[in-house]
A = this chain, B = another copy of it.
Amino acid sequence: MRIRAVKIHTHREIILFLRKDCEFCRAQLAPSMEKLEVVHGDRTLVGTLDTVDTNYLEPGEVGLSEYAFDVFGLPEGTEVQIHHPEPVRSVELIRKKIQGEVLGEEDYRHIIRDIVQHRYSRVELTAFVVACAQAAMERDEILFLARAMVEQGEVISWGREMVVDKHCIGGVPGNRTTMVVIPIVAAYGMAIPKTSSRAITSPSGTADTMEVLCDVNLSLDRMRAIVEKESGCVAWGGAFALSPADDIIISVERPLNIDASGQMIASILSKKKAAGSTHVLVDIPVGPTAKVATYRQAYQLRKLFEFVGEHMGMTLDVIITDGTQPVGRGIGPVLEARDVMQVLRNDPAAPRDFMEKSLDLAGRVIDFHPAVRGGYGRSIAEEILKSGRALDKMERIVEAQGPKPAAAIGARVLEAKAAKGGRLAFLDNHKIAKCAKLAGAPTDVGAGVDLLKKVGDSLAEGEPVFRIHAEEEADLGYAWDYWLRHPETVGVE
């Protein structure tokens, strides 16, 4: 049979299409068959089989959904054989996990290999994610999973003894400390080649915010050249095949809104290991509307991070930070980039919490340096920032990555006002993020939320708490409606 691209976007699911009247579908195994294998030479592709009416495919054609076509990577018209695939044997291991068994290193290797080879259907992938989320993986299992994820992807080698990194587990909007930490640490001369993600469910990822200033789609060669010269960079990690299993697993975690600690740790540390990091600072913000609600949970998570990180041969420092409200003022790519530049420029208007947190983190990263003793990293970081060397480094990095023309903050504005006077006691991270997303962030880079008050500030009745910025009138309306329906986003005492 010949392959044909069927231009259907199926959310990272490999769907293969056959005509209902084709010989294969009429054979008796087909009615209950849910999977098909397509083979060309030594390339195989396994996917869910959907059958279609005769008007979608010519006789002798097998259709590949967009994602399937990309993964298979062969041109339309390529001759292929089709088969009933052998059952994926590692799914049996997932059944064991569902029954409460602890899986071993070889088991996780099998599972991850099959996932990376796209042999799992979305149903099977979900079963894996839920089984691991529910049984609270043993710490050894987290390690096995993380190692297997590293093995099944590219690993970058920097040829250096020390390559540092920082990572925040997320959940707090506006938390763009990476863009302050990188230039400080790089200015100190430590190699910090940062790969960041774009927003998945948030109003902006670090890659989105950095992209306001410069290009982030760097090849590995360009990244190497920049790090060679400037020690640091902020690239979009999706351009590299680091821990590809992670990307596939996330595609079902996201719609389920599951973020179980075992998988989160394996996900983060596999990416770091694959990116060639030797020393990693992990930031766990704690707060009622953050990912981690209590200090108790944060301490447990820290232990697990440390165990897995150590056994993967990395040095980890896990810092627990305040996640009770957004960090800084801006939420959305341009607004966050503005905060970053204010901090780097030592602008008196720079949000103080954002600056302090960035210095804390940069200091802890610098503490990794063998020449730094006694916790002086923080004062070194401060000196680098205050002296303007961090700003200078940032400008060189931006120049090296390829600067972009300045982007404007969304010009359509509405102000959310306090219903009563008093002390601002609460800001809901989720709801502020949602508001920023409805306003258009991150697709409209200028859209988002700008906080005018932070927790602890005093407020007069009717005084604005935050501004919504949008590029389109309709989006401003969506965000505004959301705020009107959710006044509990802001708490005044």
Contacts and interface: CB of A to CB of B under 8 A. Distances in A.
A7 B57 CA distance: 11
Interface in A21-53: 27-29, 31-32, 34, 48, 50-53
Contacts of A378: none
A98 interface: yes
| Copies of this subunit | 2
A184 B477 CA distance: 71
A55 B55 CA distance: 12
Contacts of A438: 29
A32 B134 CA distance: 26
A123 B91 contact: no
A256 B127 contact: yes
A71 interface: no
A252 B123 contact: yes
A27 B122 CA distance: 26
Given A98-B130, A126-B126, A255-B124, A444 B28 contact: yes
Contacts of A444: 28
A6 to B, nearest CB: 8
Contact of A100 (B31, B134, B252): B134
Contact of A34 (B8, B11, B127, B443): B11
Interface residues of A, number: 56
Contact of A8 (B7, B56, B255): B56
A350 interface: no
A17 interface: yes
A258 to B, nearest CB: 7
Interface string A79-112: 0000000000001000100111000000000000
A439 to B, nearest CB: 9
Nearest to A470: B28
Nearest to A202: B32
Contact of A98 (B50, B134, B201, B474): B134
Interface in A116-154: 121-124, 126-127, 129-131, 133-136
A52 B440 contact: no
A51 B8 contact: yes
A437 interface: yes
A361 B144 CA distance: 50
A9 interface: yes
A336 interface: no
Interface string A47-79: 010111101100000000000000000000000
A200 interface: yes
Contacts of A475: 27-28
Contacts of A133: 98
Q: Pick from A51, A98, A126 the residue with the most CB of B within 10 Å.
A: A126
A300 interface: no
A447 B29 CA distance: 13
Contacts of A130: 98, 126-127, 130-131, 134
Nearest 8 CB-CB pairs, A to B?
Answer: A7-B53, A126-B126, A130-B130, A28-B443, A9-B51, A98-B134, A123-B126, A127-B130
29 contacts: A7-B52, A7-B56, A8-B50, A8-B51, A8-B52, A8-B53, A10-B50, A11-B34, A28-B441, A28-B443, A28-B444, A28-B447, A31-B443, A32-B254, A91-B257, A95-B257, A98-B134, A98-B260, A99-B134, A121-B255, A122-B122, A122-B123, A122-B126, A123-B256, A126-B126, A126-B127, A127-B129, A127-B258, A134-B135
Given A28-B441, A127-B130, 12 more contacts: A7-B56, A9-B20, A9-B50, A11-B50, A27-B474, A27-B475, A28-B444, A28-B475, A98-B260, A99-B134, A123-B126, A127-B258
